[in-house]
Chain A
Amino acid sequence: MTMPDSTGPGNLPDPMAMGTPAIPSADDGPPPTVGPRPAASTEPLVEMRGIRVSFGGVHAVDNVSVDLHPGEVVGLVGGNGAGKSTLMRVLSGARPADDGEIRIDGKPATIHNPRDAKAYGIETIYQTLALADNIDAAANVFLGREIKDRLGALDDGAMESATRTVIGRLNPRFKNFKSAVRSLSGGQRQSVAIARAIQFNARILIMDEPTAALGPAETSQVRDLVAQLKDEGIGIFLISHDIHDVFDLADRIAVMATGKLVGTVDKHSVTKDDVLGMIIIGKMPGEVSQTELQELVHS
């Protein structure tokens, strides 16, 4: 099985196909030691507690709790339909939670819609990019937050200028500022979506498959960007199907399976195989029984 393209929503590949032979493996670092994260030096930026979302009778997200600290990248991984995107849609205001609590800076936050989320400094790069194809890059970057002149009219010049600056930082070869984003390449469209998220001094960034549509050069630009934003103290939730990306970029990894949180582990205390095991079996590495391992190996 090869990696399908992941531009459409929800077509994550089978976790077995995530690049490395799943289990067993001997060449991957020290033996797994899974433990609680070392005591955080800072107060959590975001705490999501007991979040539940159900579609009809199905629990898409079932009592999940995660947190995020300033300058930290938390990778969110799991198989198809594990509920990672739905969980993040709750935080970005795209879908209300049926139950649970969100705290920002330790204070309870009410997020009913994307506007509320943005007011808390939560920006999202959606897997689908969520661009209006018929308008240009600047109009998309500033969508919903347009710059107005004294008369209250749109100041397209100011918006285009700011857009040229921010996109220039991401993708220096980007030139089509006058065309509708429909006519742009996948990488250029991704640049527009990322520019929109970082233009407004985000404190919390949600990246849903940010490199899915990108070539190698652009992917490395996004990686540099993540590192840079992290240094600036921004907290990042990174959803990715690419376990290498997650291991390279994330500090902690939260694994979800069938709507439940399997566990959150420190990157340095687990191997890629441990995480793959969590994704597939849905249990923490220490809890996996020999029979389950055997079944997995022979399946």
Chain B
Amino acid sequence: MAQAPAVQPGTVTDRPPRSPRSLLAAAEIDTRLIGMIAALAVIWVGFNLISDGNFLTPRNLFNLSVQSASIAIMATGMVLIIVSRNIDLSVGAVLAFVGYTMAMAQTDWLPNALGLGLGHPATWIITLLFGIVVGAAIGGIHGFVVAYVGVPSFIVTLGGLLVWRGLIFRYQQGQTIAPMDPTFRLLGGGGPEAALGATLSWVLGAIICIGIGYTLIMARRRRRRYGFPLRPMWAEAAITLVSFGVVIAAVAVANAYPWPDGLAQAYAAEQGIEVPPGGFSTGIAFPVVIMLLVGLAMTYMATRRRFGRYVYAIGGNPDAAELGGINVRRTIMSTFVLMGILCAISAAIQTARLNAAVTNLGTQNELDVISAAVIGGTSFAGGIGTIPGAILGAVIMQSLRSGMLLLNVDSPSQDVVVGIVLVVAVGLDVFLRRRTAS
């Protein structure tokens, strides 16, 4: 299509705006996301001050990233479920069931029934893919009953919560299954070898920076092609600099976390090299890499594919979506299939990290996942929520727990704080949304 004559240039001027709000508006930055980043900064700096500088250490931030990963992965799927006006209460139970299934697969079925033996190099990937298929199937059952039978998702997944956790006990009467396959264990980020190391971490950082730059340039080129208002150059530059800075800082922090002394000595002796002065860099943990990939894929699906557009349209107005010719039922079912797949990925991370499948795997994860999505700006009214927001929400939740643990706050008191934060965060969001609406 040729350039539309109706386009009104100059709705965004190159004149620098004055107030912070109009600055953000001109740069087309999501103010809600900025607010969450600010809240996270306050939490981090606050805990760091109270704990005498023990919070913002490479070691703590590394652990925080690993602990956030499995919740963040599931939260990205929960966003789409809640956006389309549903809920999934079963994610913790599904995670536990799939975790057990994968544990059985790698310790019993693959080595014995298929005759691969223990420690076969393909065990981890077969196990993971099998788990994903099982997760997708469970999600498919939930989604089918919700979308095609018409049972409310609250009921279906409440039933699912009981069923899937109950079914664990059909495997080995609910005994702990351990240990996991050595390669599979790397998925959990449990040790220094379950991370990228210094060089690969920098490579990953560089790839992310190139990706950000490419996306920004392509977006600008597309807007110019259609003659749409362009973002002012100062805003483009600021966004580029800030995002590159965050990526570089994250990699630097991960690399500043050294291997434990014992492991480093043993590894150096084995390789016949000296331990470098700062120790071996751990780098970015594998679960975090998985989380980044999942976040990227989910963001792409939510914002750039028809599927995501339909999920949001259904959340905004289910009747309009139906009248627009969208296959609402299939779309809803797909969100649950996706949720099942994400539960399987998180199940792999958690069992790998524990090096075991235990019956209380994923207990209360449904609450953490829903909280992460909601703190991340997902609205129960439907139609509103973002994937990056949910990931940030998961990091905020985990930061609170990790910080309180550092201050020796006991677990029940942590629950009290997290519960209050959840309600206050949503209350604040509702308040601000009402104010901007009027």
Seen from chain A, the residues whose Cβ lies within 8 Å of a Cβ on chain B are 92, 94, 113-115, 118, 124, 126, 128-135, 139-140, 143-146, 148, 152-154, 157-158, 160-162, 164-165, 167-169, 172, 175, 178
Contacts and interface: CB of A to CB of B under 8 A. Distances in A.
B321 A154 contact: no
Interface in B347-386: 382-384
B309 A154 contact: yes
B18 interface: no
Interface stretch (B4-12, B54-62, B274-282, B290-298): B4-12
Contact of B6 (A132, A140, A167, A178): A167
A117 to B, nearest CB: 8
Contacts of A92: 323
Contact of B226 (A94, A152, A161): A161
A139 B313 contact: yes
B319 A115 contact: no
Nearest to B223: A157
Contact of A152 (B28, B305, B313, B319): B305
Contact of A165 (B4, B303, B319, B382): B4
Interface in B201-226: 222-223, 225-226
Interface in B286-341: 300, 303-306, 309, 312-317, 319-326
A143 B321 contact: yes
Contact of A157 (B28, B226, B315, B382): B226
Interface of B: 1, 3-8, 11, 28, 222-223, 225-228, 300, 303-306, 309, 312-317, 319-326, 382-384
B325 A115 contact: yes
B1 A139 contact: no
B317 A131 contact: yes
Contacts of A169: 6
A94 B326 CA distance: 12
Contact of B306 (A118, A146, A175): A146
B407 to A, nearest CB: 40
Given A114-B325, A132-B383, A145-B325, A160 B228 contact: yes
B329 to A, nearest CB: 11
A130 B326 CA distance: 13
Contacts of A154: 303-306, 309
B362 to A, nearest CB: 31
Nearest to B326: A144
A168 B8 CA distance: 10
B226 A126 contact: no
A131 B321 CA distance: 8
Nearest to A176: B11
Given A118-B325, A157-B226, A157-B228, A130 B320 contact: yes
A165 B306 CA distance: 22
Contacts of A161: 1, 3-4, 226-228
Contacts of A114: 322-325
A50 B309 CA distance: 38
Nearest to B11: A175
B305 A126 contact: no
Most buried by B among A153, A167, A172: A153
